[in-house]
Structures are given as structure tokens and as C-alpha cells.
């Protein structure tokens, strides 16, 4: 990659969220650069979801600072929402709408013009090889296709950052890899990818990962550096060593 | 202990199970490995006597799943795919309730669940809804075990659970197996296959392969390389456009590659990648893991 | 039995830990009875009254004066004849008119020449107001009768003829209590059971229960037992509030009334179970309960709209609404004081319906999924 200094698109400084006496995220600090694939790992209940919700402007932090795509998470949540894409395993597409209707709906809510929408729809359909299924209901598609479609739809307004919450759960191994190819491609085109996963081999696909343990970021770095630091061979072992 | 013969099940327009056959021996830890939509849940429901197969027959502990369902229900522990405890009841209350529906009590079978129960005992007055994912699964396992069943059916017990909890869960399963329990477990995580005595690899309603994990790996006939370079995405793109490529899949930090003519194409590939100016290039011969085998079987499937 | 007790215990935990459901369960009957009761409240202050005095004698004047002197009425108008009453009512100038026919005084003291009559005509478009007004008016006339009787023997008799315009059936708060009771019991028993059973389907716990040795009938019985008790408490609550706040009487046997309530609760529960065998999730269960039970109970049971004025087809359809029969039974026992001899036919209808629903749900309830 080029050797220029890249501005961070996500910065978090001592970002904290408390629910009553319970501190869900405890003063986390990190930066994510433009075009980076950042793996955000942690055990269930370590505070990942809370952190992502704060970064997406859905949850007001208790203290600390954070900016996403240059906008402040305290005061500019509306701007943040316009500049990010979000996809999760649980919520992504409307099952009872067709492929085309879903694309048009999401394009519409992100303010794409009518002609822009038409063009985007065509590009998306041919890229995903879904032209013949354009008029099929989403629920009739295999899971892997749904997830690929959901990812493309999350990118429809060309956001600076896309948040992916366990995007590949339950998907077959080949489709999972095709999905990651799409992630690579998006990152290569300059989109920052912020992703959580339970598949530890997927953690290795990331440029950098952070692992959260009980509300704090325990370690952060490239997968190689983390593995060397713990003198182990796989990210899975890093994860197990940390969380135990 | 479990005997499945040519079972088929169709939902309106989907063939969920397509002539599935396998047997599980007493005391075996048998894994059903496959992604969503493979038919795992349908298979479990048929064995737990909750669904009738359209075709074929199945026996659990030599009882027929259709005719002798009552006997089976008394003697199995079943943990469905969706989390199935009462969120508004405490850990203790859940366990007591599930013991009572099998006409027993926690005390009667305490030694059965002791090792797992001790891990959740500190939270026994907490509501099940307030437990972490890993803890919930342990509690669900306890509930399935509390009546001392002869066979355990666990449908995707580790899905959505973090790596640590998953490892702990599997340690519990292996411990149960060592005590003589027969366990049928399904999972979408391929790396969990190696923890089973034998596995069935499932995809879209069919079993592609049944064997011990090591045997499946030995059957993998192609030569497999792990290739690594500084930029994985470029490497992948270049590999995909290499003319003698058979398969190339990202795998952790590497890309796993098979070639059309095996070893014979390797020199060409080396030259090709050097031409493309990949930095820090390493190419090593490796042994496959279950996931490689699964993908190989899937590609073969698509070809046929 | 052991498993059953634990099942009921577990079900009770669910109910008492869900504060919102609990609030609906016990809050709704109270709120509804207060709303219905006060929306048709029946205590009033001084009201306007018109007279049509065709007698024009000393006694008619005395009667009018006595009414005017009472705490309830102001005599505001003298109408020329009966025909003008309708017009006056339509202008909503007053709600009640007293008509004193010719020769009132003469008939009063010489009964052989005819009967002394008065007629009271009330605007019953507000039924409760009309009842109260006529009750007051008749009371005053009775007092008047008592006054003048002291000066003559034998006692004088005034025949009162009360007519209600616009709502001859005179539905009152009394009659809403049976309807309300049917409505609330139907809602609580049927909807709550349907929802609680489908909830287990949704969370997947039903799968585990079915795969256990528990007989399906026991699962259902365990789930509804706490609701039988809750519904019964609800019935008591409605009766109690009706009696305490609005003095709704129970003229007949309380035991019989409660027994009939239990029967109706069972009807509703069996309907709830039937719904749960059809619905796959709580939302559908709720929709079916509201559309399939609540609406017909409100519209076709005679609760709000009198069945007698409906098209024949609807009257025929109403026979299939359990609430219709229950309301008839309740009115018989509570308001008319009738006993078993009068309500056994309706009770049989309910009983047959209940058995039918239970059989149907047992038939529909599967020992397996789908």
C-alpha cells in the first residue's frame, strides 16, 4: 500500500457506557484508518454490541469522546447515520419484499435519486448475479445469497464505514469466503470495514483486530503481531488465552 | 443406539432431507456438520419424535421414532436449536422445572450434572434471561441432562457462542461421552468436527460423507498448499485468474490452493506470482482440515 | 401429579413476574367497570319538567305545585297537549313530561266515575337519566297520594302510566354488568391462554415439553389451571365492584351465579386453547382473539346492541356466540332473581359448546410439531 499518512475515520477515546452500576464498555480507546478491515472481537457479553451501537449513533455514551467519519457521536448522530452502512446477521433485509424492492427501499431511505437508484439496482443485480431473481421474494433465496445481498445493500449509499455484526453466521464455508472477498473488495475501494465474528479464522482476514474482555479492549494489533505476542499459531489460541 | 435409514422430509417446495442414512453407536460422540439449510434441525426433530418423516425409518435405542415415540421421549435429552429455557425463571427454577417434567428432581441425578452445574451454580438465583450466551447453553445442557437420559440430542448448541464458551461446552460434552453417554450434536463450525468420534458432513439435505474426522482428512486426495503474501486480496485475485487453478479459498492468514495438475503446476504458479510482484511470498504444503474437505465435497457436488 | 404441580408453579411464576400482563389482568376489569358505570351514571340534580294539564282543577294544580316544590324538579313549561311533547323533546328543552288527563280531581274522589290517572313520558335516549327521572317523579306522586289520602277514606289511588320514548328497553348500568363480565372473562381467559401457549411455541420451549414424557393434555391443563383461578377472581372483582360502586344487585343465588361463571370461564379457556392450536405466534393469537372473539362478543351477544332489533341472519348467528347465552343467564340470576329452573337450557347450550371446543382442541392439538 501507499506510504501516505491516512486519516483515521473512527476514533474513540475513553469511550464509556454505563447502565446503572454496570459498565458495559469501559473507557475503550482505538482508531480505525480509512480502508482498513477492523475485526472487533470479544466473548458474548464483553461489550461489543454496546460499543457498536454508540459508534452508529444509536446509543449515547456516558463519557469519553468518539468521532465516526468525522462526526461526533454525541452531537452529530444524524450525520453519522448518513455516512455509515450497517448489516447484521439478525436484521438486514425484508423477507416479504422482493430483491429489487429491498434494493430500492434502502436506496430510497438513503436519498438516492430515482435515476441513481435505477442504475445502482442494475449494477447490484448483475454483480450479484441476481438478475433472474430480481422479482423473487428475499425469503426464497438461500441464506448465503441473502447475506451477500444484505452487504451490497448496506453499501448502496457508498458509506465511509460499514459495520458488520456477525455477517457470516451459519453460512456455508464457500459462500462465507465469497462474502469475505466482497469485504476485501469494499476495503480495497476505500470503505472502512468494522466487523464482528465468532469464526476465529475470519479474525485472521482482518488488517487489525481488537479483543474485548469484560468491557475493556484487552489487546489490539495485526493478527500476526498478536499471535507472536502470545507465541501461538492461531487467533483462536490468542482468544482462548485472553479470555480464560 | 441411533439408526437412521433413508429418511426424507419435504416442506412445500424444499426437500429438507434427501434419503439420509447413518448409525450412531452406544457411547459415541457423533457430529452433524453443515451450514444453515443443510437439514440438521429437521433431522433432530425427527429423531426427537417431533416430526414425522415422509419416507424412511429411524430408531433410537431400538425404539421406532413413530410407533414408540413415548418410550423415546422418556429416555432422551433434547436441546433444540433455538434457546429453550424460560427467561423469566431463575437458573434453579428452570432446572427444577425440567427435572419435574421427567418426574425426577435435581437431587436424584445430581452427580450427572454436577461438573457442569458447578460452573453455573454461582448464578443459580439469576434469571436465565440475564445469563451470558455461554452460561445459557450450559444451563440448557444441564436441563437436558437432569433426568439422566441415555441419548443426548443437541441441535447447534454452540451457534452464536464465543470461542471460549464453545471450548468449555465441548469439554463438557467429551466428559459426558467418557462417562458412556451417546451424543448426537450438530454444528455449523467446521473446526468442531475434530472433537467428534465420527461426523456426517451435510449440505442441502444430503450427507456428503460419514467418517471419523481423521479418515475424512486422509481421503482428501489432492495436494494442498497454503500461500501467503503481504496483500491477501491481491494474492487472491491473482490466484483466481491463474489458468491452472483448481480451487483457492482464503483460510485464516493464508490462501489454501489446489491446482488442476497438482505438483506439476506448482513451478508455473511460483513464476506467475513472482511476476505479479507479491512481497513476502511463502508457499507451504499443508495437510487439509475438515473445512477443506467440506469445501472440496461441496465443489464436487456442484460439478455433479 | 408431581409434574403437574410443578407445571402450575412455573406458570404462576410467569404470570406474577410479568407486571404488564398482571396489570391488564386485574386493571382492565376495574377500569372498564368504572368507565361503563360512570359513563351511564344515574344520580342527577334538579331537572326541568313540563306538564300537560288537561284537568285544570284544584288537585292537578296541587300535584304540580308539589312536584315543583320537590328537590328534583323545576316545572318550567306548560304544554298545550300531548302532541307537542315530541317536538319539545327534540328541542331537548326538558327530559320528562307529566300528563294529567281531564277530570283528575273528580276521578280521585269519586272512583266510580273513572280512575284517576297521570302519565309520565320520558326521553329515554339517555336511558339512565330517564329511569332516574321517572323514579323520582313516581316517588313524588306517591307522596302526594299519601298526603291527600289522610283526608279521605278509602285511600285514594292514582294510576301511573310511565312511558319511555326512544329506548323502550331501558338498558341501564345494571344490564351492562353481565355484558361486561362476559366480555372480560372472554378476553382474559381466551386471549391470555392463547397467548401463553403460543409464547412457548415462539421461544421453542414447547419443543422441549413435547419431546418430554409429559402427555400433551397435561401441558395444556398445567397452562390453563392458573388462568381458571385468575378468571374466577376477575369475576368476583366485577361483581364486587358492580355491587359496591353501582349497587348492582344479585337477586338470585350467588352460588349458582358463580358456578355459571366457572362454566363460562371454561368455555373461554377451551376457545383459547383452540386458537393456540391454529396460531403460530403470539401476534396471530392476539389477532384471532380480538377479531374472532372480542368483536362478536361485543356486537352479537346483546351486550351493547339489542339482538331483537337485528336482522334475522345476525340473530341466528348470535346463537353461536357463547357470551349471548352467558349474558342471558346472568341477567336472569342477577336482575330477575331466577333460579336453576329458568337457566338450565342456556346452561346446557354453554356446556355443549364447551365440550365441543375441548374435543376439537384435543383433536387439533398435535403430539408433534406441525
- Give the mean pLDDT of B94-122: 89
Mutation site, B44, B50, B156, interface C, largest C CB count within 10 A: B50
Residue B24's H or E segment, with its range, is: strand B14-24
Task: Tell me the CATH number at C85.
Answer: 3.40.1710.10
Look at strands C73-78 and C117-123 and give their pairing: unpaired
- Give the mean pLDDT of B202-231: 92
Domain B2-212 has CATH 3.20.20.10: no
Q: Is residue C369 part of a domain?
A: no
Kindly give, in sequence order, each residue whose CB lies less than 8 Å from that of residue B273, ignoring residues fewer than 6 positions away: B227, B229, B235, B238, B239, B281
Task: Determine the Cα–Cα distance for residues B51 and B39; give it in Å rounded to an integer.
Answer: 13
Q: What is residue C305's predicted lDDT score, i.e. its pLDDT?
A: 74
- Give the mean pLDDT of B50-65: 93
Task: Determine the Cα–Cα distance for residues B24 and B89; give it in Å rounded to an integer.
Answer: 35
Q: Is residue C155 part of a domain?
A: yes
Using CA coordinates, name the residue in chain B closest to C10: B97
Q: What is residue A116's predicted lDDT score, i.e. its pLDDT?
A: 86
Mutation site, B230, B253, B302, interface A, largest A CB count within 10 A: B253
For chain A, list the contacting chains (3+ Cβ pairs, <8 Å): B
Higher local confidence (pLDDT), B294 or C147 = B294
CB contact under 8 A, B203 and A188: no
Residuewise pLDDT in 10s, chain C (370 residues)? 788 888 999 999 998 888 888 888 888 888 888 887 776 554 556 788 888 888 788 888 888 888 888 777 888 888 888 888 887 777 777 888 888 888 887 787 776 776 777 888 887 776 767 777 887 888 888 888 777 766 555 555 666 666 555 444 445 566 778 888 888 888 888 888 899 999 888 888 888 888 888 888 888 888 889 999 989 998 998 888 888 887 777 888 899 999 999 999 999 999 999 999 888 888 999 899 888 888 888 888 887 777 777 888 888 888 999 999 998 898 888 877 788 888 899 999 999 999 999 888 888 877 777 6
pLDDT band at B7 (very low <50, low <70, confident <90, very high): very high
Question: Which member of B52, B70, B84 has the closest CB to residue C205?
Answer: B84
Other Cβ atoms within 10 Å of B178 Cβ, number: 10
Task: Determine the Cα–Cα distance for residues B17 and B207; give it in Å rounded to an integer.
Answer: 9
Task: Determine the Cα–Cα distance for residues B47 and B76; give it in Å rounded to an integer.
Answer: 10
CB contact under 8 A, C208 and B49: no
Residue identified by cell 302519565 is: C119
Q: From residue B303, give the alpha-carbon distance in Å to each of A143, B296, B298, C341.
A: 21, 11, 9, 81
Domain that holds residue C283: 2-39+172-364
Q: What is residue C150's predicted lDDT score, i.e. its pLDDT?
A: 61
Using CA coordinates, name the residue in chain B closest to C370: B51
| Same-domain check for residues C317 and C209 | yes
pLDDT of A144 above 80: yes
Q: What is residue A71's predicted lDDT score, i.e. its pLDDT?
A: 93
Contacts of C208 in chain B (CB under 8 A): 78-80, 84, 98, 143
Q: What is residue B163's predicted lDDT score, i.e. its pLDDT?
A: 83
Mark which residues 144-203 of B lie under 8 Å from A by CB: 159-167, 188-191, 203
pLDDT band at A91 (very low <50, low <70, confident <90, very high): low
Q: Is residue C89 part of a domain?
A: yes
| Same-domain check for residues C282 and C241 | yes
Query: What would the CATH number be for the domain defined by B221-287?
Result: 3.30.70.920
User: CA C244, C248, C253, C256: dihedral to nearest 10 degrees?
Assistant: -90
Other Cβ atoms within 10 Å of B94 Cβ, number: 26
Q: Distance, in angstroms, between A226 CA and closest chain B CA?
A: 13
The DSSP bridge partners found for residue B57 are B5
Q: What is residue C75's predicted lDDT score, i.e. its pLDDT?
A: 84
Q: Distance, in angstroms, between B135 CA and closest chain A CA?
A: 10
Q: Distance from CA of residue B220 to its chain's centroid?
A: 20
B101 touches C: beta carbon within 8 Å = yes
ipTM of the complex: 0.83
Q: What is residue B176's predicted lDDT score, i.e. its pLDDT?
A: 93
| Same-domain check for residues C16 and C87 | no
pLDDT of A106 above 80: yes
Higher local confidence (pLDDT), C189 or B17 = B17
CB contact under 8 A, B36 and A166: no
For chain C, list the contacting chains (3+ Cβ pairs, <8 Å): B
Mutation site, A172, A200, A223, A237, interface B, largest B CB count within 10 A: A172
pLDDT of A2 above 70: no
Q: What is residue A49's predicted lDDT score, i.e. its pLDDT?
A: 86
CB contact under 8 A, C14 and B88: yes
pLDDT of B295 above 70: yes
| Same-domain check for residues C134 and C241 | no
- Residue C314: helix, strand or coil by DSSP? helix
Domain boundary among C165, C194, C225: C165
Instruction: Return the percent helix, strand and coil in chain B, to nearest 5.
Output: 40, 30, 30
pLDDT of B14 above 90: no
Contacts of B89 in chain C (CB under 8 A): 10, 13-14
pLDDT of A132 above 70: yes
Q: What is residue C166's predicted lDDT score, i.e. its pLDDT?
A: 47
Q: Distance, in angstroms, between A76 CA and closest chain B CA?
A: 32
CB contact under 8 A, B100 and C369: no
- Terminal Cα-to-Cα distance of chain A (whole angstroms): 36
Q: Is the C-alpha dihedral spanning B80, B82, B86, B92 positive or negative? A: positive
Residue extents of the structural domains in chain B: 2-212, 221-287
| Same-domain check for residues C180 and C153 | no
Higher local confidence (pLDDT), A169 or B98 = B98
C326-330 own/partner pairs: CB under 8 Å, 24+ apart: C326/C178, C326/C181, C326/C182, C326/C260, C326/C264, C326/C267, C326/C301, C326/C350, C327/C178, C327/C179, C327/C182, C327/C301, C327/C302, C327/C303, C328/C302, C329/C260, C330/C177, C330/C178, C330/C181, C330/C182, C330/C257, C330/C260
Domain boundary among C124, C148, C165: C165
| Same-domain check for residues C180 and C67 | no
CB contact under 8 A, B163 and A239: yes
Contact status, residue B285 vs residue B224, Cβ threshold 8 Å: yes
Instruction: Name the grid cell of C318.
Output: 348470535
A touches C (3+ CB pairs < 8 Å)? Answer: no
Higher local confidence (pLDDT), C92 or B260 = B260
Contact status, residue A98 vs residue A136, Cβ threshold 8 Å: yes
Other Cβ atoms within 10 Å of B211 Cβ, number: 15
Residue from B256, B253, B252, B282 nearest B191 by CA: B252
Q: What is residue B201's predicted lDDT score, i.e. its pLDDT?
A: 95
Q: Is residue C73 part of a domain?
A: yes
B89 touches C: beta carbon within 8 Å = yes
CB contact under 8 A, A234 and B163: no
B22 touches A: beta carbon within 8 Å = no
Domain boundary among C106, C139, C165: C165
Using CA coordinates, name the residue in chain B closest to C219: B101
Mutation site, B44, B76, B99, B100, interface C, largest C CB count within 10 A: B100
Q: Which of these ranges, B191-200, B207-216, B246-255, C58-67, has the smallest mean pLDDT?
A: C58-67
Quick: pLDDT tens for A27-80: 999 999 999 999 999 887 788 889 999 999 889 999 999 999 999 999 998 999
Q: Distance from CA of residue A133 to its chain's centroid?
A: 26
Q: What is residue C84's predicted lDDT score, i.e. its pLDDT?
A: 82
Contact status, residue B7 vs residue B20, Cβ threshold 8 Å: yes
pLDDT band at A244 (very low <50, low <70, confident <90, very high): low
Quick: pLDDT tens for A209-220: 999 988 999 999
Contacts of A169 in chain B (CB under 8 A): 159-160, 188
Question: Which member of B133, B236, B294 has the closest CB to residue A181?
Answer: B236
- Residue B3: helix, strand or coil by DSSP? strand
CB contact under 8 A, B100 and C6: yes
Mutation site, A177, A195, A209, A227, interface B, largest B CB count within 10 A: A177
Phi-psi region of A151 (alpha: psi -120 to 50; beta: other; left: phi over 0): alpha
Question: Which member of A46, A170, A184 has the closest CB to residue B35?
Answer: A170
Fold of A33-93+160-243: Rossmann fold (3.40.50)
pLDDT of A243 above 60: yes
Tally of domains within chain C: 2
B250 touches A: beta carbon within 8 Å = yes
Contact status, residue C39 vs residue B137, Cβ threshold 8 Å: no
Q: From residue C113, give the alpha-carbon distance in Å to each of A196, C63, C102, C109.
A: 103, 20, 12, 9
Q: Distance, in angstroms, between B234 CA and closest chain C CA?
A: 45
Q: Is residue C179 part of a domain?
A: yes
- Interface size between A and B, measured as CB pairs under 8 A: 94
CB contact under 8 A, A173 and B299: no
| Same-domain check for residues C241 and C182 | yes
Contact status, residue B278 vs residue B229, Cβ threshold 8 Å: yes
Mutation site, A191, A196, A198, A242, interface B, largest B CB count within 10 A: A198
Beta strands in A3-111 (DSSP E): 8-19, 22-33, 37-42, 63-68, 71-72, 84-88
Quick: pLDDT tens for A178-189: 999 999 999 999
CB contact under 8 A, B253 and A223: yes
Q: What percent of chain B has pLDDT over 70?
A: 99
- Residue C216: helix, strand or coil by DSSP? helix
Contacts of B79 in chain C (CB under 8 A): 208
Q: Is residue C370 part of a domain?
A: no
- Residue A27: helix, strand or coil by DSSP? strand
Mark which residues 223-242 of B lie under 8 Å from A by CB: 231-233, 236
Radius of gyration of chain A (CA): 18
Contacts of A166 in chain B (CB under 8 A): 160
Residue identified by cell 465443489 is: B299
The DSSP bridge partners found for residue A209 are A39, A221
Question: Which member of A42, A142, A169 has the closest CB to residue B160?
Answer: A169
Contacts of C10 in chain B (CB under 8 A): 86, 89, 93, 97
Q: Distance, in angstroms, between B38 CA and closest chain C CA?
A: 19
Q: Which of these ranges, B161-170, B234-243, C118-127, has the smallest mean pLDDT?
A: C118-127
DSSP state of A140: G
Amino acid at each position: 500500500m501507499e506510504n501516505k499518512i491516512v486519516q483515521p475515520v473512527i476514533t474513540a477515546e475513553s469511550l464509556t457506557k454505563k447502565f446503572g452500576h454496570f459498565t458495559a464498555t469501559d473507557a475503550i480507546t482505538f482508531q480505525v484508518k480509512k480502508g482498513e478491515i477492523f475485526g472487533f472481537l470479544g466473548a458474548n457479553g464483553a461489550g461489543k454490541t454496546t460499543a457498536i451501537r454508540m459508534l452508529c449513533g444509536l446509543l449515547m455514551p456516558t463519557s469519553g469522546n468518539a468521532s465516526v467519519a468525522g462526526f461526533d457521536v454525541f452531537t452529530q448522530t444524524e450525520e453519522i447515520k448518513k455516512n455509515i452502512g450497517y448489516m447484521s446477521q439478525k436484521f438486514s433485509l425484508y423477507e416479504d419484499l422482493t430483491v429489487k424492492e429491498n434494493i430500492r427501499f434502502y436506496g430510497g431511505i438513503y436519498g438516492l435519486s430515482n435515476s441513481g437508484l435505477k442504475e445502482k439496482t442494475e449494477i447490484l443485480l448483475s454483480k450479484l448475479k441476481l438478475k433472474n431473481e430480481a422479482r423473487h421474494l428475499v425469503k426464497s433465496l438461500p441464506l448465503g445469497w441473502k447475506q451477500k445481498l444484505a452487504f451490497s445493500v448496506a453499501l448502496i449509499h457508498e458509506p465511509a464505514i460499514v459495520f458488520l455484526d456477525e455477517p457470516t453466521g451459519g453460512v456455508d464455508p464457500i459462500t462465507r469466503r465469497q462474502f469475505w472477498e466482497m469485504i476485501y473488495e469494499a476495503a480495497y475501494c476505500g470503505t472502512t470495514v468494522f466487523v464482528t465474528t465468532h469464526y476465529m479464522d475470519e479474525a485472521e482476514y482482518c488488517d487489525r483486530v481488537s479483543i474485548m474482555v469484560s468491557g475493556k479492549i484487552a489487546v489490539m494489533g495485526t493478527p500476526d503481531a498478536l499471535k507472536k505476542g502470545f507465541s501461538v499459531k492461531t487467533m483462536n489460541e490468542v482468544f482462548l488465552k485472553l479470555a480464560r | 443406539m441411533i439408526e437412521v435409514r433413508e429418511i426424507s422430509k419435504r416442506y412445500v417446495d424444499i426437500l429438507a432431507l434427501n434419503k439420509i442414512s447413518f448409525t450412531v453407536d452406544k457411547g459415541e460422540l457423533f457430529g452433524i456438520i453443515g451450514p444453515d439449510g443443510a437439514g440438521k434441525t429437521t433431522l433432530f426433530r425427527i429423531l426427537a419424535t417431533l416430526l414425522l418423516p415422509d419416507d424412511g425409518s429411524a430408531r433410537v435405542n431400538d425404539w421406532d421414532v413413530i410407533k414408540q415415540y413415548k418410550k423415546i421421549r422418556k429416555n432422551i435429552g433434547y436441546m433444540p436449536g433455538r434457546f429453550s429455557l424460560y427467561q423469566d425463571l431463575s437458573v434453579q427454577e428452570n432446572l427444577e422445572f425440567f427435572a419435574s417434567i421427567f418426574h425426577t428432581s435435581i437431587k436424584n441425578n445430581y452427580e450427572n450434572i454436577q461438573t457442569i452445574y458447578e460452573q453455573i451454580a454461582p448464578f443459580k438465583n439469576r434469571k436465565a434471561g440475564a445469563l451470558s450466551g455461554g452460561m445459557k447453553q450450559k444451563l440448557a445442557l444441564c436441563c437436558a441432562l437432569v433426568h439422566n437420559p441415555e441419548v443426548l440430542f443437541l441441535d447447534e448448541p454452540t451457534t452464536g457462542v464465543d470461542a471460549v464458551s464453545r471450548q468449555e461446552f465441548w469439554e463438557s460434552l467429551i466428559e459426558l461421552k467418557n462417562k458412556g453417554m451417546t451424543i448426537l450434536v450438530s454444528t455449523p463450525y467446521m473446526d468442531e468436527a475434530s472433537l467428534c468420534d465420527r461426523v456426517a458432513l451435510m449440505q442441502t439435505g444430503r450427507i456428503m460423507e460419514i467418517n471419523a474426522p481423521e479418515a475424512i482428512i486422509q481421503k482428501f486426495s489432492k495436494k494442498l498448499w497454503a500461500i501467503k503474501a503481504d496483500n491477501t486480496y491481491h494474492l487472491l485475485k491473482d490466484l483466481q485468474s491463474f489458468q491452472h487453478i483448481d480451487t483457492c479459498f482464503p483460510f485464516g492468514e493464508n490462501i489454501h490452493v489446489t491446482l488442476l495438475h497438482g505438483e506439476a503446476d506448482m513451478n508455473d504458479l511460483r513464476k506467475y506470482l513472482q511476476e505479479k510482484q507479491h512481497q513476502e511470498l511463502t508457499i507451504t504444503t499443508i495437510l487439509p482440515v475438515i473445512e477443506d474437505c467440506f469445501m472440496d465435497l461441496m465443489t464436487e457436488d456442484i460439478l455433479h | 401429579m408431581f409434574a403437574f404441580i410443578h407445571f402450575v408453579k412455573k406458570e404462576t411464576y410467569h404470570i406474577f413476574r410479568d407486571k404488564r400482563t398482571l396489570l391488564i389482568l386485574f386493571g382492565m376489569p376495574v377500569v372498564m367497570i368504572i368507565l361503563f358505570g360512570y359513563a351511564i351514571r344515574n344520580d342527577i340534580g334538579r331537572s326541568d319538567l313540563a306538564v300537560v294539564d288537561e284537568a285544570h282543577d284544584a288537585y292537578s294544580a296541587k300535584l304540580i305545585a308539589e312536584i315543583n316544590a320537590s328537590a328534583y324538579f323545576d316545572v318550567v313549561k306548560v304544554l298545550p297537549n300531548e302532541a307537542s311533547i315530541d317536538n319539545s323533546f327534540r328541542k331537548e328543552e326538558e327530559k320528562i313530561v307529566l300528563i294529567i288527563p281531564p277530570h283528575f280531581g273528580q276521578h280521585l274522589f269519586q272512583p266510580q266515575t273513572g280512575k284517576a290517572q297521570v302519565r309520565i313520558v320520558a326521553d329515554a335516549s339517555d336511558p339512565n337519566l330517564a329511569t332516574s327521572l321517572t323514579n323520582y317523579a313516581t316517588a313524588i306522586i306517591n307522596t302526594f297520594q299519601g298526603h291527600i289520602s289522610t283526608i279521605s277514606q278509602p285511600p285514594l289511588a292514582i294510576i301511573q302510566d310511565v312511558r319511555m320514548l326512544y329506548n323502550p328497553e331501558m338498558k341501564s348500568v345494571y344490564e351492562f354488568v353481565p355484558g361486561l363480565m362476559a366480555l372480560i372473562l372472554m378476553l382474559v381467559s381466551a386471549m391470555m391462554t392463547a397467548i401463553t401457549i403460543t409464547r412457548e411455541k415462539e421461544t421453542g420451549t414447547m419443543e422441549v415439553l413435547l419431546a418430554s414424557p409429559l402427555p400433551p393434555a397435561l401441558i395444556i391443563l398445567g397452562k390453563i389451571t392458573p388462568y381458571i383461578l385468575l378468571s374466577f377472581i376477575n369475576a368476583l372483582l366485577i361483581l364486587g365492584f358492580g355491587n359496591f360502586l353501582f349497587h348492582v344487585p344479585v337477586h338470585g343465588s350467588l352460588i349458582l351465579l358463580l358456578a355459571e361463571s366457572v362454566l363460562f370461564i371454561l368455555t373461554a379457556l377451551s376457545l383459547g386453547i383452540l386458537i393456540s392450536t391454529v396460531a403460530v405466534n403470539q401476534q396471530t393469537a392476539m389477532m384471532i382473539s380480538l377479531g374472532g372473539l372480542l368483536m362478536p362478543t361485543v356486537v352479537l351477544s346483546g351486550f351493547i346492541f339489542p339482538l331483537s332489533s337485528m336482522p334475522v341472519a345476525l340473530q341466528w348467528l348470535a346463537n353461536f356466540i357463547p357470551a349471548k347465552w352467558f349474558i342471558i343467564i346472568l341477567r336472569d340470576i342477577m336482575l330477575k332473581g331466577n333460579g336453576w329452573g329458568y337457566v338450565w337450557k342456556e346452561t346446557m347450550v354453554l356446556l355443549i359448546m364447551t365440550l365441543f371446543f375441548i374435543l376439537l382442541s384435543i383433536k387439533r392439538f398435535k403430539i408433534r410439531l406441525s
